[in-house]
Amino acid sequence: MGEERERIQLRKADVIASVLLLIASAFFLFFALLMPAKFYIQATGQPSGIFTAPGIFPILVAGILIIESVLLLRTGLKGARGLHIQDLRQGISYIHTRIFKRLVIVVGLLVFYIFLLLGRVRYDVATFIYLFSTMLIFRRAKYSIAKIFFICVVFSLAVSLAFKHLFRIPLP
């Protein structure tokens, strides 16, 4: 019974995904159609015709993606047994679950590290801040803060030194 419910949920998600994919494929196709159609062979100056145009392959890919999206939409609509207002409510209730909150924190910490710390703060300091904050938030009770602090300091310094001196890579 649970499996069946999960399958129906998946099909509902497929309907939404297929619509998004259709829109994305249409954009992909639109920009492919805007690409120039005529090119010349550099060595001879002869026109190479429409067949070497840069948009040909993207048009083919976009066309197939549209067909695949329609196939997915059809399967999704068959298996979803209709979309109801309850589904929207269920989606909203998922936002309040513990897993979703933890998910937002994990992604948020990654965004903070990659987009805000890297390149702005010294690499070892940025890495330490990311590691310490992540481990602190998700830590298990038996691990003391001092132990986590020590692990983060050692790992940040080890990575920095390894990249700088062993791999000779300039740090961000």
Partner 1 sequence: MSGIVTLFSELIQLLTLQNMLLLLVGCSMGIVIGALPGLTAAMGIALLTGLTFGIERGSAIILLMGIYNGAIYGGSISSVLVGIPGTPAAAATVLDGHPLALKGEGKRALRLATCASFIGTLFGMICLAAFTPLLQRIALDFESPEFFLLAVFGVLICGSLTSEDLPVKGWIAGFIGLAASCVGLEGMHAYPRYTFGSISLMAGLAFIPAMIGLFGVPSIINILSQGQEKEILEIGKGRGEFFLEIKMLKKYLLSILRSGVIGVFIGTIPGVGEDVAAWMSYDVAKRRSKHPEEFGKGCYEGVIAPEVANNACIGGALIPLLSLAVPGSAPCAVLLGALMLHNVRPGPMLSFEFPNFIYEMSAILLLAAFATRFLGLLAIRGAVKVLKIPFFIFMPMIAVICVMGSYALEINIFHVYVMFGFGILGFFLSTMKYPAAPLVLGMILGPLADINFRRTLFIYEGSMVPFVTRPIAIIIDLMILYTLLSQIGGFGKVYAFIKGTLGK
Class of residue 24 by CB neighbours under 10 A (exposed 0-12, middle 13-18, buried 19+)? middle
Q: Provide the minimum distance between the beta carbon of 105 and partner 1 in the complex, in angstroms, as a whole number.
A: 8
Measured from the CB atom, the residue of 86 and 142 that comes closer to partner 1 is 142
Residues 6+ apart with CB under 8 A from 55: 32, 33, 34, 35, 36, 37
CA dist., res. 55 & res. 105, Å (int): 41
Q: Count other C-beta atoms under 10 Å from residue 134's C-beta.
A: 18
> Which amino acid is it at 16?
I
Query: Rule CB under 8 A: is residue 170 a binding residue for partner 1?
Result: yes
Query: Rule CB under 8 A: is residue 106 a binding residue for partner 1?
Result: yes
Measured from the CB atom, the residue of 88 and 104 that comes closer to partner 1 is 104
- How many residues interact with partner 1 (rule CB under 8 A)? 65
DSSP state of 49: -
Query: Rule CB under 8 A: is residue 87 a binding residue for partner 1?
Result: no
Query: What does the per-residue mask of binding to partner 1 show for 32-51, with x meaning CB under 8 A?
Result: x--xx--x--------xxxx
Q: Provide the minimum distance between the beta carbon of 166 and partner 1 in the complex, in angstroms, as a whole number.
A: 9
CA-closest candidate to residue 63, choices 18, 14, 30, 15 = 30
Query: Rule CB under 8 A: is residue 22 a binding residue for partner 1?
Result: no
> 23, 37, 71, 161: which one contacts partner 1 (CB under 8 A)?
71
Counting other chains too, the contacts that 133-137 makes at CB distance below 8 Å and 24 or more residues apart are: 133/109, 134/106, 134/109, 137/105, 137/109
CA dist., res. 76 & res. 11, Å (int): 5
* Contacting residues toward partner 1, per CB under 8 A: 10, 13-14, 17, 21, 28, 31-32, 35-36, 39, 48-58, 60-62, 64-65, 68-69, 71-72, 75, 99-100, 102-103, 105-107, 110-111, 113-115, 118-119, 127, 130-131, 134-135, 138-140, 143, 148, 151, 155, 159, 163, 167-170, 172
